[in-house]
């Protein structure tokens, strides 16, 4: 059964998976969505005997139907290898009475590695399959973690160039150093004087800039995206939800068929949307708990049915979730409108024009799979401290938002199902905030000294990702205004 991809706004054509991965964003400005979500072809009790790669193949082959088995298995084998510091790839751990799915064992110690380790292979395979003889330019806006994960994934990959824009001053010191020390010859990194939404809007505008596309086409370039608007990011993310379920079966924490809830620290809504797709494909999932920080636009949306980005943008200790325009929500809107591109387009135009939209009562019923919670900075820090004091387990600020939300949900709902907290980054990536949460104040002005201290405290080793940037040279030091992003791209591609 082949799955076709169409745009959430209705005028983006009908594409095969590989074509949609190359394009990234649809020509009408919408996002690609699968025309169906096939049911899993395996029995749930089989899951406990499947390793990560087998699970990934079983899931991804249902949605990337124009890839041959050989192509897809090759992509999976090359992605989920010794780059990860554990053969489990995505270990599920129990600490106290909480379950964490650790998605930070890849090269850049954040969950973006789960999809960005495989996207370059999916994309280069797609280019080969579709006989495209152009260089693919990956344009990426990052709130901190996508940038480095994409740079690492695409570094020196033949036939690709990658350009990353990050909010100058809006990412952690370690995140910034990870990006600006990137050595790949095909990589460019720019700080932008603006926030993540500015970066993302700038990149989207470049994608929709016909004159620029034409000019670069003549020079032999075609744009694609490594952001979670690309279905090549979204599809691999479904796999770890299924894998988590298998791990719970294996350890006897769940019976096959028993419902589980996922608590997802959310920014651009990509990760939690993958969980929603997993549910629609047949994974026994109860609620999807959408955990936000003080930029709680999604919390308000789930409560009221109104999405309103007209509010102050807050810089928090969980910067990868400092987002007011959650791109992937557009896919959910499209689905709860009954896969209606006309209705979706209306709402997105309202968002563009007025910064807000309200969904109908009928659509609101489609949100019943979700439950919104948000954590203030104080609650986030307290969560890190209390969990550490109780269990000795150290979590990063993003995971802490979710861990807090898990407790809130448990108290408010009375739901006795098990909740799996999606752990999206290593505490070392946000060493300063984590240390401060536990000890009250930082031990040094130097983030690397703080990392040493975290290591002593938690009795865990400093990850290679942090070790490697400690004395690395800064290669990328360009900063631009939002209005200069287009020229930055032109200037990078001669």
Ligand X SMILES: *Cc1c(COP(=O)(O)O)cnc(C)c1O
Catalytic sites, residue numbers: 112
CB 372 within 8 A of CB 292: yes
Q: Which of 7, 266, 293, 419 binds ligand X (CB under 6 A)?
A: 266
Cα 6 from Cα 367, distance rounded (Å): 22
Tell me which stretch binds ligand X (CB under 6 A): 266-274, 341-349, 413-421, 475-483: 266-274
The DSSP code for 73 is H
| Minimum distance, C-beta of residue 320 to ligand X, in the bound complex (Å) | 3
* Closest to ligand X by CB, 212 or 421: 421
Give the list of residues 6+ apart from residue 127 with CB closer than 8 angstroms, or none: 22, 136, 159
CB 397 within 8 A of CB 318: yes
Residues 296-325 binding ligand X (CB under 6 A) are 320-321
* Closest to ligand X by CB, 273 or 485: 273
Asked whether position 153 contacts ligand X by CB under 6 A, the answer is no
Asked whether position 345 contacts ligand X by CB under 6 A, the answer is no
* Closest to ligand X by CB, 54 or 145: 145
* Closest to ligand X by CB, 127 or 231: 231
Q: Report which of 37, 11, 23, 228 is spatially closest to residue 130, judged by C-alpha positions.
A: 23
| Minimum distance, C-beta of residue 252 to ligand X, in the bound complex (Å) | 29
Asked whether position 271 contacts ligand X by CB under 6 A, the answer is yes
Asked whether position 265 contacts ligand X by CB under 6 A, the answer is yes
Asked whether position 267 contacts ligand X by CB under 6 A, the answer is yes
Asked whether position 21 contacts ligand X by CB under 6 A, the answer is no
| Minimum distance, C-beta of residue 334 to ligand X, in the bound complex (Å) | 17
* Closest to ligand X by CB, 320 or 380: 320
Tell me which stretch binds ligand X (CB under 6 A): 68-76, 182-190, 262-270, 362-370: 262-270
Cα 313 from Cα 323, distance rounded (Å): 8
Tell me which stretch binds ligand X (CB under 6 A): 6-14, 264-272, 370-378, 409-417: 264-272
Asked whether position 179 contacts ligand X by CB under 6 A, the answer is no
| Minimum distance, C-beta of residue 366 to ligand X, in the bound complex (Å) | 19
Tell me which stretch binds ligand X (CB under 6 A): 188-196, 269-277, 357-365, 447-455: 269-277
CB 108 within 8 A of CB 465: yes
Tell me which stretch binds ligand X (CB under 6 A): 261-269, 275-283, 356-364, 461-469: 261-269
| Minimum distance, C-beta of residue 323 to ligand X, in the bound complex (Å) | 7
The DSSP code for 482 is G
* Closest to ligand X by CB, 112 or 345: 112
* Closest to ligand X by CB, 71 or 383: 383
Alpha helix stretches (DSSP H) within 67-139: 69-79, 112-116, 119-129
Q: Which of 3, 425, 438, 488 binds ligand X (CB under 6 A)?
A: 425
CB 40 within 8 A of CB 282: yes
Cα 189 from Cα 280, distance rounded (Å): 37
Q: What's the alpha-carbon Rg for the chain, to the nearest Å?
A: 21
| Minimum distance, C-beta of residue 25 to ligand X, in the bound complex (Å) | 16
CB 399 within 8 A of CB 265: yes
| Minimum distance, C-beta of residue 365 to ligand X, in the bound complex (Å) | 23
Fill in the per-residue mask, 356 to 395: x = in contact with ligand X (CB under 6 A), - = not in contact. Answer: ----------------------------------------
Q: Which of 398, 410, 432, 436 binds ligand X (CB under 6 A)?
A: 398
* Closest to ligand X by CB, 206 or 321: 321
Q: Which of 19, 54, 113, 145 binds ligand X (CB under 6 A)?
A: 145
* Closest to ligand X by CB, 30 or 267: 267
Asked whether position 424 contacts ligand X by CB under 6 A, the answer is yes
Q: Which of 12, 34, 106, 270 binds ligand X (CB under 6 A)?
A: 270
Q: Which of 55, 181, 247, 268 binds ligand X (CB under 6 A)?
A: 268
- Kind and range of the H or E run holding 189: strand 187-193
Give the list of residues 6+ apart from residue 226 with CB closer than 8 angstroms, or none: 116, 119, 138, 140, 146, 150, 153, 154, 162, 233
CB 492 within 8 A of CB 139: no
- Cα 461 to Cα 145, 394, 452: the distances in Å are 21, 12, 9
Long-range contacts of the stretch 387-391 (C-beta < 8 A, 24+): 387/95, 387/96, 387/98, 388/438, 388/458, 390/96, 391/95, 391/96
Asked whether position 247 contacts ligand X by CB under 6 A, the answer is no
Q: Report which of 56, 101, 59 is spatially closest to residue 79, judged by C-alpha positions.
A: 56
Residues 88-127 binding ligand X (CB under 6 A) are 110-112
- Cα 267 to Cα 162, 319, 322: the distances in Å are 23, 9, 7
- DSSP three-state, residue 165: strand
Q: Report which of 78, 148, 76 is spatially closest to residue 107, judged by C-alpha positions.
A: 148
The number of residues that bind ligand X (CB under 6 A) is: 17
In the complex, the residues that contact ligand X under the rule CB under 6 A are: 110-112, 145, 228, 265-271, 320-321, 398, 424-425
């Amino acid at each position: 059964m082949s799955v076709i991809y169409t745009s959430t706004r209705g005028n983006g054509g009908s594409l095969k998976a590989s074509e949609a991965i190359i394009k990234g964003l649809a020509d009408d400005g919408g996002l690609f969505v699968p025309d169906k979500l096939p049911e899993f072809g395996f029995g749930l009790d089989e899951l406990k005997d499947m390793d990560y790669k087998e699970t990934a193949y079983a899931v991804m082959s249902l949605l990337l139907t124009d890839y041959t088995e050989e192509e897809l298995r090759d992509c999976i084998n090359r992605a989920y290898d010794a780059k990860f510091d554990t053969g489990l790839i995505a270990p599920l751990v129990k600490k106290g009475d909480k379950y964490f799915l650790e998605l930070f064992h890849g090269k850049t110690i954040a969950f973006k590695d789960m999809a960005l380790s495989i996207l370059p292979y999916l994309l280069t395979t797609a280019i080969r399959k579709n006989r495209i003889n152009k260089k693919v330019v990956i344009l990426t806006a990052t709130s901190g973690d996508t940038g480095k994960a994409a740079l690492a994934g695409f570094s020196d990959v033949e036939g690709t160039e990658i350009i990353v824009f990050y909010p100058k001053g809006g990412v952690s010191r370690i995140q910034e150093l990870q990006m600006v020390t990137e050595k790949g010859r095909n990589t460019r990194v720019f700080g932008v004087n603006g926030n993540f939404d500015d970066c993302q809007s700038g990149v989207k505008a470049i994608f929709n800039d016909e004159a620029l596309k034409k000019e670069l086409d003549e020079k032999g370039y075609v744009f694609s995206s490594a952001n979670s608007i690309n279905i090549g990011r979204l599809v691999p993310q479904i796999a770890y939800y299924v894998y988590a379920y298998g791990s719970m079966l294996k350890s006897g924490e769940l019976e096959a068929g028993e419902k589980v809830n996922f608590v997802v620290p959310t920014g651009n809504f990509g990760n939690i949307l993958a969980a929603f797709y997993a549910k629609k494909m047949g994974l026994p999932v109860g609620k999807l708990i959408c955990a936000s920080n003080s930029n709680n636009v999604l919390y308000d949306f789930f409560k009221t049915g109104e999405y309103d980005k007209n509010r102050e943008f807050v810089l928090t200790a969980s910067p990868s979730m400092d987002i007011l325009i959650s791109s992937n929500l557009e896919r959910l809107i499209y689905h709860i409108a009954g896969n209606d591109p006309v209705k979706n387009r209306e709402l997105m135009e309202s968002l563009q024009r007025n910064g807000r939209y309200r969904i109908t009562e009928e659509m609101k019923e489609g949100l019943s799979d979700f439950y919104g919670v948000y954590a203030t900075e104080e609650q986030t820090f307290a969560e890190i401290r209390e969990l550490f004091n109780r269990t000795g387990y150290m979590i990063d600020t993003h995971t802490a938002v979710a861990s807090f939300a898990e407790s809130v949900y448990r108290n408010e709902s009375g739901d006795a199902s098990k909740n799996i907290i999606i752990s999206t980054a290593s505490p070392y990536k946000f060493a300063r905030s984590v240390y401060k949460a536990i000890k009250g104040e930082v031990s040094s002005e130097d983030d690397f000294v703080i990392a040493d201290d975290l290591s002593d405290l938690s009795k865990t080793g400093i990850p290679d990702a942090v070790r490697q940037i400690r004395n690395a040279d800064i290669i990328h030091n360009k900063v631009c205004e939002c209005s200069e992003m287009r020229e930055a791209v032109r200037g990078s591609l001669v």
